Amino acid sequence: MRSRLFWRRSAAAAGTYASAALGFAATVVALHVFSTETFGLYALVLAMTAFVQSLLDLTVEEALVKFGFRYTTREDWGRLRRLFESAIAFKLAGGVLATALLLLIAPFANTLLHKHGLTTPLLIGAFIPLAQCTENVGGVAIVLRGRYDIRAFFLFVSMALRFTAIAVFASHGLSETIAAMVVAQVIATTAISAAGWAAFRRFPQHASVSLAEERRDILSFVGQSTAATAVISLTAPLSLLVLGRVSSTTEVAYYRAAMSPQQAFAVVSAPARLILLTEQTRDWERGTRDAVFAGISRYMLGMAALAVVILPPLLVFTPELAKLLFSAKNVGAVDATRIVIVAGALRMVYGWTKSFPVSIGRPALRIWTHGVELLVLIPLVAILGKEWGATGAASAVLASSVAFCVCWTFLFLRIRREPAPAGATFVEAALP
């Protein structure tokens, strides 16, 4: 049993790291092949797509994990089926609405951002939300079987397809690249949906049963998760769009390049977070709270030790790394990159905050903490970005990351002191 668990964790780590490496490599390829101006447009197109998708997409995945584990634990297969049916309907509706809104915005994108060359690639990129909408539902079905290793493999497949699209088509132009990315997303979503259906079919199959008295709890959970995810997902694309409004496309390109280390740091902790989400949600549902808190303490100690080791050489050799990865034409991103490296290391230590609120059934905690981050970040990007471009925007990222971590430290200490609720499970506690 231990050897099987070790294998699954190792495979999950390998798949997640491989997918992250491909994601980073895709950015590097785009930086080298595109001109700085075109890369800035590329970043703005993807930012606008992510922004609209975040506004209209309902985050049902977290409710699927939380209540999915609840229903499998008590073998309530009829409600599990209804939960998945509802989730697919919500995700499809969100994808359709996001695509429709992007198609409406695209003709006015150049005017909105004071740029040229955004309309055609944005018209094509508008179909990314629709192509992607049901991908995570299939992923949750796999996670509920305890196979986060297979989920990680499909993350790798998805990123491999995106990397291929960028590597093959970047030399042909921006619109062609975005079109290839849409096709890659369709293939990735189809593959994981098929695997998710196969995983779901392994549960005992019962007719769909009304969610009855739990419907309100689930809708509340979905509403809070959606609000939290919107705040989280809006942060990066909105900061890019704000910088694009107050500064040049070149500075947008430098800022997007500088943000790459933050993505890399998030990837370092990704396998651990995937495991934490699966195992800690199950532990919390079983009433073993101490195991959850102990796991977070171990995680933070491990990531803090790693940060102490890797930060000094990364900061010293940032100029050399920037020239190698971003190409010499983008060395203007060096100062911003150094600042983002510090912010990324800090967020890596606090990476557990992505899964913890879901595991304990309190997704609203993320609304408050990421809301603070957003309120600090966006005004500072507008002010500092206008004055110092990418470097100013990166400074805003560091300031907002510090505010985020301070908020979570306070909340975690309060939750740890709370008495355990009566019964074996915990659904939702009101925020103090």
Q: What is the pLDDT of residues 11-30, one digit of tens each?
A: 777 777 788 788 888 988 99
**What is the reported pLDDT for 186?**
96
Work out the mean pLDDT of the chain and round it to a whole number: 85
Tell me if 288 sits within 8 A of 276, measured CB to CB: no
Residue 402 pLDDT exceeds 90: yes
Tell me if 106 sits within 8 A of 123, measured CB to CB: yes
Q: What is the pTM of this model?
A: 0.69
Tokens representing residue 136 in the block: 């995570």
Distance CA 138, CA 88 (A): 9
Angle at 316 between CA 311 and CA 318, to 5 degrees: 90
Residue 349 pLDDT exceeds 80: yes
For the stretch 231-284, pLDDT in tens is 777 788 889 989 988 988 999 999 988 988 887 777 666 666 666 766 777 777
